[in-house]
Each structure stands twice: as C-alpha cells, then as structure tokens.
Structure 1
C-alpha cells in the first residue's frame, strides 16, 4: 500500500468524513422515485425511507453491507456467510441465545420475519416488524446497530455455530450445486469468483479462529459500505430521526482495505468445452455460451433503452424454444436463452436446453441452429408485436399496482438496487421511458441487439448431467469440485484430447454448424374463438354478509358465486373456481390419474386453440387460468385485472366446456415424468412422494405417486373421461376477490359461467372419505443411490381432522412449539442440522385423518440418534407440556400473521370465499380466528401434546444414501468436469 493510500485510510478511520458511495441517481439522468426519501449520515451510512401502505401497520427493514465472499482472503473463505450467522449469536444488546426468542416475543417468526443472506458482493439482513410503533422501529434499528458494530463473536459461540454451517453446507449439497460449481469455474476461468462460493471452505469453517472473524468484521462492516432501508406504514421524518439516534455513532473499527483483484475473463480460445458427469442428475443440460469481459455501466436512460431491443429478442427466441419443445420427437424437454452481466466483470450470453441423456447431441444441434436462425435471419413482425405487447402490459400493470405493492418485496428491490447501483425509479417513469420506444422498435433493432450480445467469436460448450459420453467418467464429489475451483483461476484452460468427451462434444457442435438454417415462417393472425356460452344466467339469490363485507350469489343453473371487493391490490382481481369432486373420485383402477390430469390439462390448451395459440392471442392481456386437482374438488385459479376480467371468465368457461387434451401435452409430461422419477432414485423426495405418502394413508391408492410405469400408463382419454362429465354438470363454486365492481362482476359471470348447463348438487360420497393413518407405529428406512452425504429423518404422530377448528388452531401452535424446541436442541445446542421443521396436517376431506410431523436434514451417521432425540423432545413435551413463555413465543408470530392476513386477497380467496356456500362455517372460522388464537392456554396445548405426542405413538422414517458404486480413485484435481 502506498504512503498516500495509508494516509487516506488513516483520515477516513478517525475523521468521520463522509466516505459513502453516492446514490445511483446522483450519477444518472434518471429521476429517483419521488416517494422515496434518501439520506446519508456523517459517518457515511446511507438510508432510503419509503412510505408504503401494504401490509398496513408493518415495516420492512433491510441492512445492506456491501461486502460478501469476494472480500474474503484465502484463509477467510466462508467467513462472510459464517459472520452473518454470528449476528444471531450474541451482540452488545442481545446476549448469546436470546435474540431469536426476543424476536418471537415481539411477534416475529425466526426465518420469516428475521433472516439474512450472503452473496458474493453483499450481506443483507432483514427484519419484518410486527407494527410501526416508534419503540418497535427503534428496537429494529438497535438490532441493526448491533449487527453493524456490536457483535460479540465469542469463541464458544463460534465453535457452537460451526456445526450449523457445516449442516447448511450439507443441506445445500446437491447435483445442481455440484454442477454449478463445475460450470462456474469453467466459464469464469481466470477470475476470483469460483474460489469464493459463499458457503466457503470446510477447513476454514471448522478451524478459523476468532481473530479471522474479527479481521473480516472490522474491515468490511464499515459505515461507508452500509445502507439502511425502511419501507412500510411510516412517517419518514420520524424514522430518519430514529436512524440518526441508533446508528450515527457507528465508526470504522479498522483501516479500509482494497478489495481483492477479481481477475479477468479468459476468452482467448475460440472454442472451449466442458463435460461434467453427474450420474445422479435426472437429465442432461447442453449449453452454448459466449462469456466476455464487461465492466460497470451507469444506470442511465440511454443504457436502459440500449438493451431493450436485446431483451425483446431474447423473449422471441424463448418463445420459439417453447414451441419446439412441444413438437413430436423434439430432442429436448425445455430450453431458454439469456444474457446477464455480473460483478462488474463479465457478460454471459447463453442458450441452454435440458434433454434426456441420450439426446445430448441432438439437443446441442437444436441450440446451435436456433441460435443461428435468430442471428442470421432475425425475427418476424408478429413475433415482435407479441413480445412488445407483453412487456408494455407488464409496465402498465406495474403503474396500476404500485399503490399497493408489498413492503417486503419493495424493500428487497431497493436494497438490491443500491448494491447493483441501479436507480430506484417510479413505475410511471419506467412506463414513460419505455412506451414510446416500444411503439417504434423494429425487428432490425432487435436483431442488432442480439448480435451484439453474441458478437465475440468465443464459444463455450457445456454438457452436464447424466449423459455418458465416451468411456464412463469418474464421479466428482463436492470437496473435489471445491478443491478444483481453488486452483481453476490460476490453471491454464483445459485442452480437449482426441476422442475425449470434450472432443466428441466439439465434433457434434461442428457437425451442427455445417447445417444451414432457414428463416422462420410467418405466423397467421388468430382470433379468440370463445365469446358466446348461451343465454346469460339469472341470479336466483343474493346475500350480503355485512360484517365480512362479502356477497353470496346463486344463479339459475346452480352455480354459486362469492365476491369481495377489497383495496389491498390495486388493479388486481383474483379468482378461484371449485368444481366436481377431485381426488375423492379418482378410479382405484387408474392410480395416478389425478397427477396426470394436473400435469396435462393446461398443456392441452383448448379445442380451438393450442397453448401456443393462446400465448399469441392473449399477448398483452392479464389472463391465465391454471388447473389443479384438490382432495375434494377440481380447482381453477387465475389473477386478472378489471379490464380483462370478462376475457378471463371466457377462458375459464372455455376450459370447462372445450378442453383441448392435445397429444403435445402428453409428450411434454412423459418427458417430465422420466426426469422426475430419475430424480426420485437419488433424492429423499422419491421415497417421501411415493412410498411414504401412500404408507401414511394405509395404502389408499389415491395417496402418493404410483410407480413410474403405472403413471405412464395413464392416457389422455382416461383424463378426458374423468374430467368432462364433472366439468359439464357437477357443482361449481366460483369466488372472486379484489379491485372489482360487484354488480359488473356478477353480470360478467352471468354471461359466462352463469350461462353454462345446470349444475348438480355436490354428492357426500361418504364411502370414499374413509382414510386412516396406520394403526400401529412404524419404523421405515429407505435407501437412495447417492454419493451426496446427507439424509433425512421424519417423525410422524397421528392426530385427527379439521372438523373442530379450535383444535386445529391449537395443533398448529403445538407444532410451532415443537419446532422451536427442535431448533434449540438440534441446531443451537448440537449443531446437527440447519433448519429443522415441524407442522400439523388436519384433513377437511377425510374424517379423523391428520398428523403432526417433524423433518430434519441430517448427517446419515446421525440419523438414528437424531430421530431418537426428536421423539424424546416430543415425549417430554407430552409429559411436561409447554411453558407460558413457549406458548407466547409460538402464538405471537401467528397473531402477527393473522392480523396481516385480513388485508391479503389470498387469505380471503382461499380460506374464506372458496367454500363459503358449500361450507358456511368457514365464515364463522374467519370471525373467530383472532380472538380464538389469543385465548389459547398452556393447559389446552398441553392436553393435545399429551394426547398425541407420546413416544409410543411416534412413527419414524429415514431416507439415507447408499453409494451406487465405489468412489473413483481418480485424484480430486483431475476428476471429470474439471478437465
């Protein structure tokens, strides 16, 4: 370090000079959102305050530290993330082991309302405060002050947390993560990024002493690298004064240190190839990338407009890939193209296709030829019109919905924008900037934008996944992948050897390059075919429920309509339709039919319009109805706008009366099923989704996915035969909530759903509602073929159904108490797992059916001990009951969520309106929810714990890995994927 630089650091450390980075708008011609209040303290900390009304009475706080894993030295790898954990393990005002409980007593949930995350270039802390009282906000800012400058970092707490970090590392280990590591080091060869994956180096995590933590903390948790964001139902002037009081006294604790050199993109070779073999992957991904150096560009109007044609071009190519994937004999499952810039270091243009293992060569050819088709021949005017219409609609809807944006998402957006040096602009200004250009943009400009992203001749080819190319390759491990990443930046780029997998990939690519590509065909104009469903229905009854402010309507055809006008989402209307009997009536001889129906129905389009036709016809519209099979009904969901409500109702009516059941849907689903069941062989989801789900229902064939061949045996004709009669005549209850006009909505429903044929009453089907939990406790162990050293333990206790809503609420509280005990014991005390969870399921469809469960990711060697510990904790809860403090800490976050939910359209739609006429008691459930939760006592919860959580009632399941083959003897640094 030069003498001048040492002097500057000394002055900044001790003088309190404002050394903060400028706000992005201070270096741009873009106008910042006028609703935001920007400020900077003398010590350099920036703040952004944004008054926002939803959720009412709450505030979202963010503390941004512009330092992450890229700021670590070699012997600190993983400490940026580790330090984020230590923020919850003791600070100036919150002794070790108290802050989570403190949050809970405030009415905040751990993980939901208080959390943090670490990336390469930033650490972000979040708080979702339960109210906006001055004392509550002051407490939140005091927490941030401790994060920023008051962490204790006691050695015993560091040692205790090591196991938690290693558990998180194990929990995040997966085929996807290993593939990411290999691709990262390949594409970003020559840079620091592959060596600084935030989860870190196990050796550092296990052995780093306190001095290393202090060095990182004191060096990088500096005021000039910090920003505080507060969004919510606040007075900015009041909060600003509180910020001054809480954190203006923070000062640097160590001299500033220059960031490490991030290296330089090595793009010298015209063609590079990577073959990364993952035998546990459910599919193979082929990629063609162009990675080039790319530095920081200021966020200006000109730069935003510069990349607009490119973004539209990408949307068009993605549309083409979606169409191709549905074609008969298409050699890939799905595909996408993208362009991204990162870390002021690189730009990556990439086209990626997912395929079956044996189709990698054909998929690579599709990727190459579709990319060249776009680069050589450009686009059709109709394609551009569709892409521009969708973007224009997104911009317009952002303006309409801006008044009721949710504070948590807006706070995240502001914090990430500060980190990325992006100007916080108002949606109205975004629309004003882009709309004139969208009206004038040409296909030639889009082509030029795409060509610019792919202008360099460098190409990187990747085939990653379960494809075997050439001799069977060795299997990489996470440790060897990380070790290779550590040397990748300093090693020369790998050179493909003759007849190697890399050479075979390059040869396949060159063969494809020799195939000429033609211009895309013009698309014909399409017109919406579903506007008339017969004479409008007649309203036969209408009731206004005054205390809940909702309307219950019945039409002459038997359709029931439930409506509630709300101000919670400006310009948004949500719909939910329940029709027929759902899973209840799945034929026992056609196991898996409900799953096949859920997967194929929407993909089949309509009788007169395919899915691709619908995308063209509905471009620029806010319309989309999604189908699913529920336990006792078929369900359609959608979100639309007042202007598109009629069209959305027409789409719903069309799906009910003229579903497409196209073969292309089955082709897509069969590819997905192959991929899903391959993943089941190597992940805990396999046994849980198939055998365990069925076991918990005592073998009822409607529960759990069947064997793959059974599911593949289901046909579209079976789906059609099951659904069509019910869609045509079964009971139908439609619920609509949001920014609506009640009378106009009733009229729109009358012309569509109200005009459909008459509905039959919903049958009771009592004989089909008999489902039981196994009569005797069981212990099951399932083995999956996996080299990944992690297992899963789940413990189940049978309970009962949801017929008694008071009991159901108390079971949920009991589950929360159990989860908190698991957190304290398994995570905080033993460091044996990262995120234990517990929950309660009580069925509304199957009388007497329900269970409590607890799930824990574990080191496989600790599976038995962990399961026994869980059962012992639950048994102690059954014998001793909870404490008053435990009950309060379980109830208060629930009460916060309940108070917030009454201003949430999703709650009203799904929990109240959806069955308001079929099951009128749900209205009383809504009325009693808050007072009933408040009234829950220790004695009530203790009684349920004693009834259900005893050791003798516990069943346990363990899913553990068993290696498919011995680990390869290949030295770690020479393993496949790193050649």
Structure 2
C-alpha cells in the first residue's frame, strides 16, 4: 500500500507541477464521443459548460454512491475496477492521525466476506499480483483502491465487485490483525522516511501549506498514535467517512456495461450512510501576505535546491472558457520549459537543473513554481539564472515563432491521443473519472477535445500568453524554500540576501532571441541498397529483410497501437572493446552525442526543427552492444529513419555539451557521499564486480581521464560499420509500404564488414560467502540485500524455473517478513539471467527494516529459503505464480514494447523467437519437485553476498 503525499518530496513537487503542462486540467485521454455538436463561437466560450463524454455511463445509487462505467477493449479481456473515497488524512481527528492510511491497510487484512488474508490469497490465485496490480493509496483528501481483473473469467470478474463493496463498508478491523499491521505501517514510514527529505519536509511543510490543516495531517500520521491507538478509534474513522455518499466505483474494461451496472447495484445498494453523518469539510490553504522564506539543511542532503512557489486560487475546469485558459497555460509552460532547458546546454551551465511552470498544487490551489538546483558553491548564480528566465518572459514575453511551435507541439500531442482513442489503456479513463468525482473536472471525451483544440487554438494570441507571466509571478502568497547540505550551512545566504538575489535577477536582461535553422534535416538522401533476402515467420507474424549492405531488419506489423512505430537496433562491440584508460571517455560518448544534435545542427535547433513531429531517436552504447532506440508515428517514420541515418553517419561533436556534461557529473560527485543510499549502492556495485574499474563509482580522478576527441572517435568507430546490425521494427505499418524507405536509409548505412564482436571482460560477482556492512546515515533505518549468483545455462526451461522460484520466494517472504514478523513493508526478490557476455544468473533479496531487526530478518529469510530447498514450493504458491505469469504474458503479447524487446533479445542470443507462443503451456513444467531442485541449485548459499546498511555508529 502506498501513500500519496503530493508534496512528499519538495523537488518532486515542483517537477510534478512542471509535468502538468501537457493537457493537465482536462486530460485529453482517448475517449469516444460523436462530434455532432458544433463548438460555439469564441465570445460564447466562457459561459458554456463542457459536455460529458456519452461513452461513459454515470449513475448514482439511492444511497448516494456514484458510479462510472465505460467499455474499453485495451487491454483485451481485462478491466480496471477502482473504489474512490473522499476520505483522506485531512479528515482525521487529533487521535486518528495516520489512521486514514492505516484503514487502507486493514482493507487487505480482513473483511466480512474475506476474513484475514483470504482476499489477497484469492486474488493471487486468480493471477493478480499483490503490490503491482492489487494496490491502493492514501492522500490528504482521498483514498483509492485499484483492482485490475481478467474478464474472460466471469466468476473472478464478478467477484471483484464483491471485493470492492467489502472495502467500501465491510472491513473487519480484527484486533489481532490491527496489532500485526502496526509494524508493517511503521516499516512503510521507515522505508519512505527517516531520511534527509523527510526531516526537511517537516520544517518546510508548515510554510508551504501555511499552517493549514494539510500541514498537520500528513498521511503517515504520528508514530505514537500508530503504535498505541485503540481499535475503536480506527473503526470510528471508517464509520464516519467510508460511506456511500462519499464513494465512487469506477469500472473500465472489456465487458458488458449493462451487466456491470447490475453488479454495482447488486453489491453496493445495501451500503448505508451513518445516522447523523458528519459534514465532509472542504479544507483550504489560506493565502499569506508577502513572501515567506524557509532555509533548511540536513547532514544527508546531497544538493542545494531553491523553490519559489507563488500560490493562486484554483478551480476545476468545467467550462469552455476555463478549458481555453487551460490550453493557454499549457502553451505557456511549453515555451518556458524550452527556454529553461537551454540553460543546461551551455559549456558552463549556471545551474544543474531549472524548471518553471504553472499547475495544480493542493488545497484547491494552483501554483507557479520555479526550481533551481545549484552547482556546489554557485547558489546565487543558479537562483538568478532561473529567475531571470521567468522575468525575461514577464518583461519581454515570448516570440510569435515560439508560440507557433508550441501550438504545433500541443496539436501533435492531442492528435496522437485522438488517433489512439480506441487503443487507450483503461487506466487512463479511470484517472479522468477519478478527477471528475474528486474535483469536478470535466470529462468531455477526446473527440470533443480534439475538435475544440482544432477550432480554438488558432485564436489564442501571443499577447494573451505574454500576459500570463505577469499574472503568475508575484511577491504575494509566495514561498521561497532553500534546502542544502548541512556542511554548507555557513555559506548559505540569509533570508534578505536570498530575496535580494531574486529581485536582482530581472536586471540587465534582454529579450529572448529565437535562433532556428532553415536547413533540411538531411541534405543528401542516401542511395541505399535493395533487399537481397527475405524470410517470413508466420507463427509470430514477422518478416526479416536483409539489405545489400548486410543490415537486417526484423519487421512485426501490429494493430496494438494506431500511431506508434518502435525502432531498435543493435550490433556487437560496445565499451568492451576499449581499454580501461579510455573507458570513461567511451562510456560518455553516446549520451554526449545524443545531446549534441546532428551534423551541423545543434540540439536546441534540432528540437525546434522537430517540433510537430511525433518522433524520437537516441543512440546508445553499452558494454557489449551499440545501436539506436526510437519511436515515431507512421507519418513521421521517414524522419525517424533520417535521424537513425544521421546518428550513424554524421554525429555532431559539441564541446559546449561535453563541458556541460562534465560539469554536471563533477557537481553530482561533490556531495554524493552524504547520501547513505548512494554510498550503499556504490559499495554493492564495487563488491559484485570484484572491484573492477568499470563498475566502481565515478570519482573526480576518473572523470579527469575523459577526453572529447577520444569519446567522439570511439562513437564514430562503433557506428562506422552497420553490416552486422539488426534492426527490430514493430508497430503500425505495412511492410511493402515502408520497404522502399528501409532500403534507402537502413540499406544506405555504412558497411565495412569488419566482423567485430564484444569481448568478455569476465566481470561478475565473486565466488564464496561475503558479508559487507556499511555504516552510513543518521536515521533509524537499515537496508539488507542478499545476492546469490553463479554460472547458468540460459534456456527457456531454466528461465521459467528460475522465475517461478523468484515468485515463490517473494510470496513466502511477504508472508513471513511482513505478515508474520511485521518487520518489513515490502520485501523484494529480483531474478536476473543473461547469456551475453557470459551466461550468469543472480537472485537478489532486499528489504528495509529497523536496524535492530536486521539479523533476525536475515535469519527468517534464510529459513524460508531452507524450507523451499527441503520441501519444494507449496502447490498453492506455484498456482499463484502460474496464474500471474499467464495473465501478464497474455497482456504482453499485445504490446509493441514487449515484441521490440523480445525480438531484439532472441536475435542477439540466437534463440527461437517462436518459443514465446509456448510459454504459457510450458509453465506446467513447474512442480513442487522442480522448485526444490531449482532452489538447491541456485540458492545453495555457496556464492552468497550479504550487504547491510546500518546507521553510523555513535
């Protein structure tokens, strides 16, 4: 179960607001509605309410419960059921702090029809994975339960509505279960907190939230209450606030809507509102006069960050006028984001990151938030640089060319959503209906929205957008938050100085100059080579083309998406071919080239050239391979191929980008050692690689060996010969239609037939038993990672057995460490196996816990492993694994991304790609006996490394 603070990380607050720039207020997720009603003229927009998408059935039961039902076939034979409660932590009394979230936990620990753990057990057997599929979250204002279900099993699907109704009004609150769950909730708080961000947030939230109800009702609550509350206290919260008039059921999926409506009425009509029900108070964050400044430091904070938050009244988007304003905000955010992004592309960037945008906040507020992450020792420079850009927009506005590009970009996004309207994931519709229920956001449907954009975006004037900066930027109701490492406390400005920097940032600024390139993306179209061989695989619907230059292309046309084509390529070599002395240069090569533009077009101009195109291509170089990854809409597929061709033949060397990259890395290294998790992960990487130079943490000394000429030369060398390159292309295309383009661009790639391959550097975990304890951090927090590893025979049969063992162990550790010991929140098991550069496997077990419980929980883990080694898995756990794996495979087989990865890997490993069709049938090979054999083989403990992170010794 998870908390949803919305403000849990200060920097993520700002970043999340920044990302709300794209269709945030009324999300244009694909929906289906007829476009029969004309859009009114502009002067009528402000008063007219947005319509409701006719594809959704909205109803209300006599008891007040609201429901939303929509048929959607993506993914096929699946449905998403949600229970949304207008009950969050702001409704808690002083004695109930933390119990809204605790209530959410208890819903999975026993209801009227599903005593104790029967609910989770039943759903796991039905193929629903606890945590990944079956989940919930609690926030300030709401608690939401999610239940994805198969619809090809009528029994399982219809049982889902019984489960939702049990959550809605029939949670048992068994005293023993409450007492057992206390430890789990406290461990969740430990896992997510006990760190620099939590400690600083406790100091900044009262300022950000202006000492409102939100500031004193964080969803996790108070430890002393979680440890000691009486069952009657949590039952009182559930009685008061889990009631039909504050609840909604949302059902979207591949089903008969009329039947679903009957199921909702049958399962939820019996629920009753409490007598003398309490009014559901709507809490707000009161405005503040002037500017509040808060400067906080922490021993473990690794970077210096400033946020400037100007809060404004917010409201749901319900009318056409409000929707048009929302589009204006999107355009504003789009243009401002582009300008700020250019700051970090300078040779000596003034900051590490800058962001600014207008969007949702909390407590019925919006906010204009500016974020600046400073280089060590350069806080003033960072603050002034970020604020200068917002001030530049306020004083001089944007240019018409910027607005034209923003409109084109936004229209490309909404058009793509419209094209995918019949292939949209159900959860996207769920999110829209949830916002409608909780906030009153309109849900007009994608047909209406796309039509609205087309008819109205052209009417938006530059003067209207330029006026927004003056509206958003203010010194009233403004908070300025500075977070920094404690060791830099003496160097930080005081409040007056910090505010003076913000004021001075507007001095000596000039209007933005919009530099664009009018050159064609590719000046000379390659001649290319023809297809010399063609091979079809009818079983999985692929066609493999071989071109005259030796390049191969595996093509899989699909109808999974209407507006998506994925492009992936690989050939062998990678950084394994360079010496250690040149490794750092080589490891930076692809990222630097990717950020430098192409040919003689820098990245800033390239981004502008590609505006309005739904396309993206990036080169990569890893240890054993190099290639490109990309995607495009069908109409922009040729542009994607041109980018591929240019990254192979005309990579750009940009010294400014190189210097900027080095600056970013150097800055990140200065305080990396302050963060306990970074130190722990660096230690793990070092030990499991036998302290190989290439796996050790970056240091200033290593970075000093990096050289742009070497990096560029290495990149050119790796992409100079495409003769052994395999491309995998999946998505919405016709083979005969794209074949001429493939012959031209892929067939035109350079080929020298060098026949290079990778080198096996022999980097792998050491043999034997090793324990490595790291003492770092001041929080009462421990972390454990156990890694079993060794040689492996890579094949489908072994992979299935290892996957089964990992899932069975995951189930047992949840039962033992979480449910029985109440010692962890979310234990994890990660299984990995590879064939290149050498065949190896690893099984990692990881969890966070109280430092005092580390040894006990490691012992418990080893005991559960020993049981499987002695007796094999329980048949019921095997059943859970098989059900979950079958369900996930059924969904994956209808995804372009899955096929892109599968076809690439099987080509790389020279495996039969058709084997995936037998995967679900082969799951029957997993038995009690095979799990016992697999556990003894791969969890023998002969090669076991125990990593433990504990607080610093006092």
Alignment of 1:791-802 (within 5 A): 791-801=782-792
The residue that corresponds to 1:171 in the other structure is: 191
Which whole-Å CA distance do the structure 1 matches of 2:523 and 2:132 have between them? 44
Aligned partner of 1:267 in structure 2 is 288
1:88 Cα deviation (Å)? 0.6
Deviations 1:666-708 (A, max 9, x none): 3333344245445642445434543322422334444454445
Output one character per residue of 1:813-845: Cα deviation in whole Å (capped at 9) or x when no partner. 101111111111111111211110002111120
Q: Which residue, 802, 807, 830 being the options, matches 1:811?
A: 802
Alignment of 1:533-932 (within 5 A): 533-593=525-585, 595-674=587-666, 676-677=668-669, 680-687=672-679, 689-730=681-722, 731-758=724-751, 760=753, 762-763=755-756, 765=758, 768=760, 770-784=762-776, 786-801=777-792, 803-912=794-903, 914-915=904-905, 917-932=907-922
| CA deviation profile, 1:100-148 (whole Å, cap 9, x unmatched) | 2211101111011210001111111001113343322211111101101
2:278 alignment counterpart: 257
8 Å contact 2:517–2:601 — kept in the other structure? no
SS in 1 for 2:545: strand
User: Residue in 1 aligned with 2:30?
Assistant: none
Q: Answer yes or no: is 1:230 the counterpart of 2:251.
A: yes
Matching residue of 1:12: none
Q: 1:674 to 1:907 in 2, by over 3 A?
A: same
Is the CA contact 1:545–1:551 (under 8 Å) kept in the aligned structure 2?
Answer: yes
Specify the alignment match of 2:14 in structure 1.
none
Q: In structure 2, what is the equivalent of residue 14 of structure 1?
A: none
Matched-pair contact (CA < 8 Å) for 2:346–2:657? no
Name the CA shift for 1:254/1:952 in 2 (closer, same or farther; >3 Å).
Answer: farther
> Which residue does the alignment assign to 1:502?
495
1:186 alignment partner in structure 2: 207
Quote the Cα distance in structure 2 between the aligned partners of 1:682 and 1:376. 40
Residue of structure 2 aligned with 1:444, choices 456, 463, 475: 463
Task: Give the deviation of 1:909 after TM superposition.
Answer: 0.7
- Shift in Å, 1:805: 1.9
Q: Which residue of 2 aligns with 1:122?
A: 142
1:894, 1:317 → 2: CA distance? 45
- Tell me by how many angstroms 1:795 deviates: 0.7
CA contact (8 A) 2:788 2:844 kept: yes
**Helix, strand or coil: the match of 1:729?**
coil
Of the three residues 898, 919, 934, the one matched with 2:924 is 934
1:84 partnered with 2:104? yes
- In 2, the alpha carbon distance for the partners of 1:208 and 1:284 equals 39
Structure 2: which 5+ runs fail to align? Answer: 1-32, 34-46
Residue 64 of structure 1 pairs with residue 84 of structure 2:
yes
Report the Cα offset of residue 419 of structure 1.
1.6
Question: 2:304 corresponds to which residue?
Answer: 284
Structure 1: give runs of 5+ residues left out of the alignment.
Answer: 1-24, 474-499, 967-979
Equivalent in the alignment of 1:109: 129
- Distance, in Å, in 1 between the alignment partners of 2:419 and 2:537 is 29
Question: What's the counterpart of residue 969 of structure 1?
Answer: none
Mean CA deviation greater in 626-635 or 439-448: 626-635
Matched, 1:239 2:260: yes
- The secondary structure found in structure 2 opposite 1:183 is helix
For 2:62 and 2:585, the matched residues in 1 are separated by: 65
> How far apart, in 1, do the equivalents of 2:543 and 2:574 lie?
26
Map 1:392-403; keep pairs closer than 5 Å: 392-403=411-422
Checking the alignment, whether the CA contact within 8 Å between 2:549 and 2:750 is kept in structure 1 is: yes
Question: Which whole-Å deviations, capped at 9, do the CAs of 1:158-187 have from their partners, x for residues lacking one?
Answer: 111111111111111133344444333212
TM-score by length of 2: 0.91
Aligned length: 907
Contact preservation (8 Å) 1:70, 1:121: yes
Q: 1:311 to 1:899 in 2, by over 3 A?
A: closer
Q: In 2, distance between residues paired with 1:321 and 1:295?
A: 25
Change in Cα spacing, 1:472 to 1:713, as seen in structure 2 (3 Å) is: same
Offset of residue 506 of structure 1: 2.5
**Against the structure 1 CA distance between its residues 712 and 198, is the aligned structure 2 distance closer, same or farther, given a 3 Å change threshold?**
farther
Instruction: State the distance in 2 between where 1:675 and 1:195 align.
Output: 36
Identify the residue that residue 43 of structure 1 maps to in structure 2.
Answer: 63
CA contact (8 A) 1:843 1:849 kept: yes
Judged with a 3 Å threshold, the aligned counterparts in structure 2 of structure 1 residues 141 and 740 are, in CA distance, closer, same or farther, namely same
Aligned-pair CA distance for 1:953: 4.1
Distance 1:781 1:831, change over 3 A: same
- Distance across 1 between alignment mates of 2:359 and 2:311: 10
Q: Could you say which residue in structure 1 is the equivalent of 2:374?
A: 355
How well do the aligned residues superpose, as a CA RMSD in angstroms?
Answer: 2.3
Q: Which deviates more, 789-798 or 178-187? A: 178-187
Query: 1:711–1:685: structure 2 CA closer, same or farther, 3 Å change rule?
Result: farther
Contact 1:733 1:915 in 2 (8 A): no
1:955 to 1:573, Cα distance in 2 relative to 1, 3 A: same
Q: Alpha-carbon deviation of 1:373?
A: 1.2
Deviations 1:274-330 (A, max 9, x none): 1111332221112222224x2534511111112322331222111111112222332
The 2-side partners of 1:687 and 1:868 are apart by: 25
**Residues 179 and 586 from structure 1, CA distance in 2 versus in 1: closer, same or farther, beyond 3 angstroms?**
farther
Q: Any idea what SS the aligned residue of 2:582 has?
A: coil
Q: Which moved more, 1:115-124 or 1:332-341?
A: 332-341
Shift of 1:438: 1.9
Matching residue of 1:404: 423
Q: 1:158 and 1:506, CA in 2 relative to 1: closer, same or farther beyond 3 A?
A: same
Separation in 2, partners of 1:647, 1:793: 48
CA contact (8 A) 1:120 1:196 kept: yes
Contact 2:792–2:841 (8 Å) recurs in 1: yes
Q: 1:735 and 1:685 mapped to 2: Cα distance?
A: 37
Matches of 2:360 and 2:789 in 1, distance apart? 51
Provide the C-alpha distance between the structure 1 equivalents of 2:861 and 2:840, rounded to a whole number of angstroms: 22
In the alignment, is the contact (CA less than 8 A) between 1:119 and 1:198 conserved in 2? yes
Matched, 1:140 2:160: yes
- TM superposition shift of 1:861: 2.5
Correspondence 1:304-319 to 2 at 5 A: 304-319=323-338
Contact 1:536–1:750 (CA under 8 A) maintained in structure 2:
yes
Cα 1:282–1:289, aligned 2, differ >3 Å: closer, same or farther? Answer: same
Q: Which residue of 2 aligns with 1:9?
A: none
Return closer, same or farther for 1:182/1:614 CA change in 2, 3 Å cut-off. Answer: farther
Q: How many angstroms does 1:37 deviate by?
A: 1.6
Separation (CA, whole Å) in 2 of partners of 1:99 and 1:274: 46
Q: Are the structure 2 counterparts of residues 41 and 812 from structure 1 closer, same or farther at C-alpha, using a change threshold of 3 Å?
A: same
SS of corresponding position for 1:403 = coil
Determine the structure 1 residue equivalent to 2:50.
30
Moved more, 37-46 or 374-383: 37-46
SS at match of 2:951: strand
Counterpart of 2:311 in 1: which secondary structure? strand
Other-structure match for 1:379: 398
Residue 65 of structure 1 and its aligned partner are, at CA, apart by: 0.6
Shift in alpha-carbon separation, 1:747–1:769, aligned structure 2, 3 A:
farther
**2: CA distance between counterparts of 1:675 and 1:78?**
38
SS in 2 for 1:728: coil
